[in-house]
Chains A and B, each alone.
Chain A
Amino acid sequence: MHPPSLQIMDISMPSDGPAAASLDASDTTLTPSPRVRRVRFYLTNEFGLVLLIIIFGAAFTFAVPRFLSHFNLFILGRTAAENIVIGFAMMVVVVTGGLDLSVGAIGVCAAMGGGWLMQVAGLPWPLAVIGGLLLGAALGFVNGWAVVRSGLHSFIITLASMSIFFGVMIFITRAQAFRSIPLSFASFAHIRYFGFISPLLLLAVVIMLALVYLYRLTALGREMLAAGARASAAELSGVRVKRVIILCHMLAGLLAGVAGLMLVARNDAAIPSMAGQLGQDWLLPAFLGPVLGGTLLSGGFVSPLGTLLGSFLLTLLTNGLLLLQIGQFWVEAVLGLLLLVAVLLDQARRSFIARRRMI
């Protein structure tokens, strides 16, 4: 036998400890220098968003003192919670490089399902909520299954399904709202902790933490990112890509359901038109949050914290502009402009980082 120049014999049974410890030689050291890390931090989306939130927050406080009133902060937080969860619903599909135009339609369907269970079927509200969420996840499953089976881009599939889900929902409900929502459920949207914190906002933060856990600390979450970045490579590395994509769509449906039920609690009613025609009104906030937060639309990279901050910023802007009496009709134009500016800035940031090879 020839003498092996490098020992590979013990390769099949690596020990967990010693090999990983202390690395010294300069070109094999496996951690980035602290300076690079610090510069990189200031270039993150999250940092930029926090800065923007502070700047706009300060500006609105200066212009409209009412902005900092307990009541306004409460309203702001509650609306932000809805937008954050809507953003998450889109984000979990965007991770796969796809998108889900039907989040709004699913959200309304789940809300109407929950409303029906509470009002007509007379179930206790926790069961009704579970029912609504299951409906959301089931509709998400339909999307995911159709995408995987057809091999078509999720754009066209969810474009069709948003139309179908919404149409069937209107057909069944005859476009009638469910207005007898149990107070115990609706109160979630009206309780204030410390006078200005909505429990819904706390729920949104909890969901964010759960998503961070999913993507950073579970095999499934890592597989979702891998499948989104390059499905063929993930597949050949043993990721069950189809199953993972279906799960992403189900998660999107579930989160859309959460957002829908939040709206039910806030309105004390499940209203078919609460997300506009076909649920289209959710599309802008759904994309704004993740895009502002740095989630790549081509898939494979995600930032739950960024989405949370992005959705918060968008809510803050809406709230402030309304307080400034800009006229509610112009708010949408401003949000559109914000999306445009955000993607342009994001691209500039990316090319800057790529030039400096900082990542």
Chain B
Amino acid sequence: MAEFLFEALGISKSFPGVMALQDVSLQMREASIHALLGENGAGKSTLIKIITGIHRPDAGELRLAGTPIELTSPRDAMAKRIGVVHQERNLIPRFSVGENIYLEQLAGRPLKPLRYPELYRQSRKWLDLLDLDVDPATPVSRLSVAKMQLVEIAKALALDSRVLLLDEPTASLTPHETVTLFKVLKRLRDDGVSMLFVSHKLEEVGELCDQVTVLRDGRNAAHSQPLQGLGRQDLVQLMIGRKEQIADWPARNFAAATPALALKGVSTILGHRDIDLTVKRGEILGLYGLVGAGRTELAKCIIGQFAVTEGSVEIQGKAVKIASVADAIHRHGIGYVSEDRKAEGLILMHSVLANAGITVWRNLGHHGLPLTDGRIRSRIEPFVRRLEVRTPSLAQLVGNLSGGNQQKISVAKWLAAGVKVLIVDEPSVGIDIKTKAYLHELLRELSDTGTAVLVITSDMPEMITLADRIAVMNDYRIEGTITNTRDYEEMSSRIMSLIHRVEAA
């Protein structure tokens, strides 16, 4: 028996124009949980795709129990008993739990009739192992997200996986569900399964994992080290190459400032209740909460995409009724930078010019003049240049730019529109550290000019860097608002206690 159950040694992989992985190694022991850490874009997902046979490495080799192996397809990996739970849901919604668990078997024998009772009886075994009490005949579409997650794990286990990859399995789980999941994972470890746990929630990693591999810019920053003795700060330093820093910005006083946006006793069609929230002119208000707390949903109600059912929304002190997003932008000067840049923030197949200019077309078109590229360009180019967007030309398609530059464009279009209130949802998803710091400065300066900024983020250091005040949201309610002192330990414990007060109750 080899020392390591699964090894990836000296893996390199490049895509046209990008070196995704360079000489990356990772060694997994039997009966252990191995953390794979790294920022977005560090190469985690490429490595996972190589281990599961979706991509082939340009150099390096994979070894299973000491023997070199070649993986040419996901099927290959399955046959070698390497199972994976992907980040996105990979279940067939209308199929039963049992059939989803044994989906792999369908492909092998196309004409052998299925025997459902037998199939359900077998899948029971895996569900029991995970303490999942659902009838195998239930369609997956009726399960909660957490249960779907467990079904996916059952699906991977049903292949008799010895190596199990979990790609951000807790991303859509509540804290309580996460605890349950961890119990299951620890039991699997004790049964001898070797797991690779990908996450960027460092608290979870510390609680669960035995070894850690950290990737930074496509290289090993740490290679299969024992996790013992490594603190949060050490991990952060490995991930970003320096210590996590909270910008030392002076506190600002807004006692005299007038409110730019105020929600008073607002309830929404999406389920928010009694929301009281005020953002003053020139202030940055942070809205913190876990995934599923209803933050993005609240933003979408403020900008008029979903209806506010009770209470009042006030802009610059005047109660208003925002009927549509167009209304919010053109009448009330509210902009929204979406967390989902690719789906909601930008039009990737259109040019920089079209993306940055979309908010000013209406305005420029009013005068009856033809809306030429030149006129749009002269309106937006100052902003594109000010934000230092790196693009060969304004005609470049946004989809060809890096994540950081894309994010700059999604901010630039709101600057061009001259909004008075800007809602920024997860500003630093998928962008590198340097751009992130730059964006933070930018938002700070924007607020200095009098724009009210509402920042939504799950990234605690980001929140503590940016916000003047922090409102904490849980289960579609505001639990409390605290003034930010920029003391990380103090702020994070106060925020967590606001959330846990409810969890405990």
Q: Show the binding face of A for B, using Cβ within 8 Å.
A: 1-2, 4-9, 11-12, 14-17, 19-20, 27-32, 213, 216-220, 222-223, 225-226, 229-230, 232-240, 300-301, 355, 357, 359
Contacts and interface: CB of A to CB of B under 8 A. Distances in A.
A226 B393 contact: no
B446 A218 contact: no
B379 interface: yes
Contacts of A32: 392-393, 395
Given A8-B442, A8-B446, A14-B382, A233 B343 contact: yes
B361 A235 contact: no
Given A9-B449, A27-B390, A233-B344, A19 B385 contact: yes
Contacts of A8: 386, 442, 445-446, 448-449
A31 B343 contact: no
A178 B404 CA distance: 63
Nearest to A15: B382
B386 A219 contact: no
Interface string B424-467: 00000000000000000110111011000000000000000000
A220 B368 CA distance: 12
A-side binding surface: helix, strand, loop or mixed?
loop
Interface residues of B, number: 62
B390 A28 contact: yes
B330 interface: yes
Contacts of A31: 393-395
A230 B326 contact: no
A6 to B, nearest CB: 7
Contacts of B343: 230, 232-233
A357 B359 CA distance: 28
A17 B375 CA distance: 10
B108 interface: no
Given A230-B347, A239-B326, A213 B382 contact: no
Contacts of A30: 381, 384, 391-394
B372 interface: yes
Contact of A355 (B16, B347, B413): B16
A297 B379 CA distance: 31
Residue of B303, B343, B344, B394 ringed by the most chain A CB atoms within 10 A: B344
Contacts of A5: 441
A1 B448 contact: yes
Nearest to B390: A27
A11 B386 contact: yes
Nearest to B350: A229
Residue of A14, A19, A216, A229 ringed by the most chain B CB atoms within 10 A: A14
A1 B251 CA distance: 9
Given A11-B383, A217-B371, A229-B347, A235 B448 contact: no
Contact of A1 (B250, B305, B390): B250
Interface in B167-217: none
Given A219-B365, A237-B359, A19 B381 contact: yes
Given A30-B391, A32-B392, A300 B347 contact: yes
B445 A301 contact: no
Interface in B304-334: 305, 324-326, 328-330
Contacts of A236: 303, 305, 325, 336, 338, 344-345
B130 to A, nearest CB: 35
B379 A12 contact: no
A1 to B, nearest CB: 7
B397 A359 contact: yes
A28 B250 CA distance: 34
B418 A29 contact: no
A249 B358 CA distance: 22
A32 B395 CA distance: 8
B393 A225 contact: no
A327 to B, nearest CB: 42
A44 to B, nearest CB: 14
A223 B349 CA distance: 14
Nearest to B387: A6
Given A217-B370, A222-B371, A238 B350 contact: no
B377 interface: yes
B7 to A, nearest CB: 34
A7 B348 CA distance: 29
Contact of B349 (A216, A222, A229, A357): A229
Nearest to A36: B392
Nearest to A14: B382
Nearest to A357: B400
A17 B365 contact: no
A223 B361 contact: yes
Contacts of B362: 219, 238
A11 B415 contact: yes
A238 B359 contact: yes
25 contacts: A1-B250, A2-B250, A6-B442, A8-B445, A11-B449, A14-B379, A14-B416, A15-B382, A27-B390, A28-B385, A219-B362, A220-B365, A222-B358, A222-B371, A226-B358, A229-B349, A230-B348, A233-B347, A234-B358, A237-B325, A238-B325, A238-B329, A238-B359, A301-B349, A357-B17
Contacts of B364: 219
Given A16-B378, A237-B329, A300 B448 contact: no
Given A20-B378, A30-B393, A237-B413, A217 B441 contact: no
Nearest to B17: A357
Nearest to B348: A230
Given A20-B382, A239-B326, A357-B17, A29 B392 contact: yes
A235 B358 CA distance: 10
A337 B390 CA distance: 44
B330 A238 contact: yes
